[in-house]
Amino acid sequence: MKKKPYEFVRFSNLNGVPCPCGTARRAFAETEDFPGTIHVTEISSDSRVHYHKKLTETYYFLECNLGAKMQLNDELIDVQSGDCILIRPGTRHRAIGQMKVLIVVLPKFDVSDEWFD
């Protein structure tokens, strides 16, 4: 049987799972011929600083409340809707403030690669 030339996901149909940032809906984890995963994450007010040893994450900010920030190691950066940040492995990070973020993760997300100090 021939594979379809595309994959389609409706994020509103995906179950949200708890993560250090809040609640994530993750797509394409089971798609063998795609090297990463795509997440839509609702950031909670109590997000936790964490890092990844192998994963690179790209945060695209869809919605941000006034005063939203990203903590990247010891630096705080103001963010707003339409901004994008690439977070390399080893960078301690967390989002501060309520927001909705599209996250591209390469390689595929692996829960065992979430580390806390």
CA–CA separation, 82 vs 71, rounded Å? 18
Q: Which of 18, 95, 113 lies closest to 49, judged by CA?
A: 95
Residue spans of the domains in the chain: they are 18-113
According to the model, what pLDDT value does residue 24 have? 97
Q: What is the pTM of this model?
A: 0.94
Q: What is the band of 1 on the pLDDT scale with cuts at 50, 70, 90?
A: confident
Mean pLDDT across 51-71: 97
Q: Which of 55, 65, 60 lies closest to 102, judged by CA?
A: 60
Q: What is 18-113's CATH superfamily?
A: Jelly Rolls (2.60.120.10)
The residues that bridge with 99 in the sheet, in sequence order, are 43, 64
CA–CA separation, 28 vs 41, rounded Å? 15
Is the CB of residue 31 less than 8 Å from the CB of residue 75? no
